Amino acid sequence: MLQKRVIPCLLLHKGGLYKTEKFKKPTYIGDPINAIKIFNEKEVDELMFLDIDATILHKEPNYKMIEDIAGECFMPLCYGGGVKNIEQMKKIYALGVEKISLSSQAILNPPLIGEAAGIFGSQSVMVTIDVKKDFWGKTKVFIHNGKTNTKLNPIEFVTIVERLGAGEIVINSIDNDGMMNGYDIELLKALKAVLNVPLIALGGAGKMEHIKEVFEQANVDAVACGSLFVYQGPLKGVLISYPPYEQIQTLLDGGTHL
């Protein structure tokens, strides 16, 4: 397995697989199980599934769907969406999920991070932080699918999350989501400078060069990609894909074969 990970991030919405742009305009991509079968064949590092409905609709995680996904998935699996307490986390881990991502609850109930890390281990507890620029152009932490501005500074907040026991932190750029124009390199550099736990960049990848840039310039530990692995070409035709191991290795070793 690569030291630097490249992780497909898939969004669950209305029971299917969707892709968004700036957390809006959800576009149907296909069936989650069919996507997993493709990624199994491609020998993906790991998979991340985020349910974008559960928290907004005040629903429990869809345990049946999680069970189906985990049962089909041959690689490490992370799930996030609607997780509010330890009992829910126990159920999800028991279904075969290796990591759980906390998002809104990391802000609304920060002690849950430490409690979960103490029970399940930090390596199993991830925090996904959604960020975007506010009216004044300042990058802030948002929750509820980008609708609520917490006014929190992400650079300050990640240090709190790390101190509470999160094993990994995902920074999800709402402004870059689905735009396929590259990652927010400067923000990621600033975050990486204050963190000791792995940092995962999410939001913005449109070509393999973007992955190379964010690894080299921001020194992140992993990248997560949505559009890059579900769309093909400028018209965004749906095609689930993942580059061969050798292609990623060449890319990260400084090669030019993309």
Domain ranges of the chain: 5-252
pLDDT for residue 48 = 98
| Of 45, 51, 53, 130, catalytic | 130
Among all chains, which residue has been given the structure tokens 């948002």?
Answer: 142
Confidence (pLDDT) at 1 = 42
pLDDT range class, residue 115, cuts 50, 70, 90: very high
CA distances from residue 15 to 59, 61, 62, 217 in whole angstroms, order as listed: 13, 12, 9, 37
Which pLDDT does position 253 carry in this prediction? 78
Per the structure block, which two tokens stand in for 107? Answer: 């802000």
Q: Taking the model in full, what pTM does it have?
A: 0.95
- Residue 218: pLDDT over 60: yes
At 102 the pLDDT is 98
Is the distance from CB of 126 to CB of 99 less than 8 angstroms? Answer: yes
pLDDT at 256 over 70: no
In terms of pLDDT, which residue wins out, 3 or 99?
Answer: 99
Based on the residue annotation, tell me whether 221 is a catalytic residue of this protein. Answer: no
- pLDDT value for 200: 98
How much is the pLDDT for 254? Answer: 65
CATH architecture, range 5-252: Alpha-Beta Barrel (3.20)
Opening angle at CA 200, ends 39 and 184, nearest 5: 110
- For the chain, helix (H) and strand (E) counts, in that order, are 10, 14
pLDDT for the residue numbered 145? 94
